[in-house]
Chains A and B, each alone.
Chain A
Amino acid sequence: MVLIAITLASSYFIWTLSQNTVYNDAIRQINLLDSNHLSESVQVQNTTYTVGSASLVSVAAQVQNQGSLSVQFVTLWIRISNSTWTNYNFTGLSNMNLQAGAPYQFNISIIVPGASAGKSYSCASWLMTARGNVVALQKQVSSNIIHSQTTQGIGALAMDFQNFTYYTVTGSTLNNFPNGMSGYVVSSAGKNIAFKVTLTNFALDESNIIIYSSSVFFSIFPTTPQQVRGSYWYIVNVNEQTGAISSTYTDVILPFNVPTAVYFASDHAIKTGLPFTGASAGFTGTSPVNLAFIGTVGGTPFGQNIPFVSIQVNS
């Protein structure tokens, strides 16, 4: 009897210990799960939104995994709204694993039914990680300059004066693309010319600026009285890989706070029945340049003249 009692007590004790071990293991795993959940740290920079045609909303951002664990993003969400309308959508992400410390640049387009290009929206987006964390894609803090004051004073478009380039044009191809030469001193040699300027949209409401085909780069050469000597180049679309100028024109969209290259090369505003034709300087000498833009900002009419550049054209 004693032996039986001892056997029973021992087996029960051992079984109790095994149950306790199972429970402790589970708690340890849960603690690890929670610890990993809390350890995820992702920094987001340079988030931009572009509302294109067909309700396609593009989200671009740079994320960096600042934690010690790899992070897997599983879903991207986007919510856009204006004063009268709100909608959202999401897309699953595959193969978007970020090792510890690794940066990742992405540009993902999602259809948000009802969104239309050219209108002003408030956008928000976030990434879901496999560990259940929400990573908000915050918009970029753009710099120490008070853009709102600048924008109110001189307009929403800013030009990068360090990146002002010209190209000679053969047919409809930019020569020496993409490097070109400094736009301040132009050696035309009678050839057609194209200019590239880099513009940044600092619209107060952070909405897109859309540039129409009637936007023009023009200069007036000083000369004897009563003789106006002007040269002009209308805006064109250029293939950023090949440097080929498109014979047609699609409105250029300038997202908020994203430096965007804009090209001027056409003899006239490109429209249906009037395809691209190259334009030459025509005159020589030092000349002020005006960039006259026509389009929309946030769906309302927009126009701005950037007058601060001068060029010297040599024969």
Chain B
Amino acid sequence: MKSNMKSRIPNLLRNRRGVSPVISNIILVAAVIVVGFAVLAWTYSTSSSYTTQYSSTVNSDIDKLRERVAFEYIFYNNTTTPKSLSVYIMNFGQVGKVNVTTAYVSNSSWLAPPFSNIQLKFLNTTSTSYLNAGQEGYFVLSLSSITLQTGRSYTVKIVTWRGSIFEGTFVA
């Protein structure tokens, strides 16, 4: 048997005829299937990452659009040292976890330096990181180097971490 095989291999190497069409088709189809699955797998992985990013962006935009903040009252206290501005707000939007990252105080011709590190509290003075839908809260801005003119109109602008901007006006 071994001597028979040894005699066939040189014959095959010397044989100049091609593989049959059936065999070649099988090889080609197999190659196409393998490459096709490889492309499919690559496409799925790429598009999955893309769709995840896109969904996240869309949801983030939707949440930003759903944010609504109303100003309940803004009270300028010029009897304390330092003077302070208490800003009472309510989240009346459809999304929770609304906080205030930056606040600005200005009037038509003047803008105070922005306020950051804002400590949000519920109306019962309990500290909170954010307001959920329907909740009311407040924060106090310390106007250590700023004096507002009594009787003049000012604007408080707040920016949330989602990037929404809300404005309220008050008379000092």
Contact = CB atoms under 8 A, between A and B. Distances in A.
Given A4-B39, A134-B72, 7 more contacts: A23-B61, A26-B66, A29-B94, A33-B66, A88-B73, A130-B134, A132-B70
Interface in A1-57: 1, 4, 8, 12, 15, 19, 22-23, 26-27, 29-30, 33, 37
Contacts of B92: 37, 130-132
A130 B134 CA distance: 7
A292 B116 CA distance: 62
Interface of A: 1, 4, 8, 12, 15, 19, 22-23, 26-27, 29-30, 33, 37, 74-75, 77, 79, 88, 90, 92, 128, 130-134
In the complex, which range does the number of interface residues on chain B fall in?
20 to 34
23 contacts: A1-B36, A4-B40, A8-B47, A15-B51, A22-B58, A22-B62, A23-B58, A26-B62, A27-B65, A29-B66, A30-B66, A33-B93, A33-B94, A74-B90, A74-B134, A75-B90, A88-B75, A90-B88, A90-B123, A128-B136, A132-B68, A132-B92, A134-B72
Interface in B153-171: none
A65 B21 CA distance: 86
Contacts, number: 67
B115 interface: no
Nearest to B71: A134
A75 B65 contact: no
Given A26-B65, A26-B66, A92-B123, A128 B72 contact: yes
A107 B129 CA distance: 35
Contacts of B123: 75, 90, 92
Nearest to B91: A132
B72 A12 contact: no
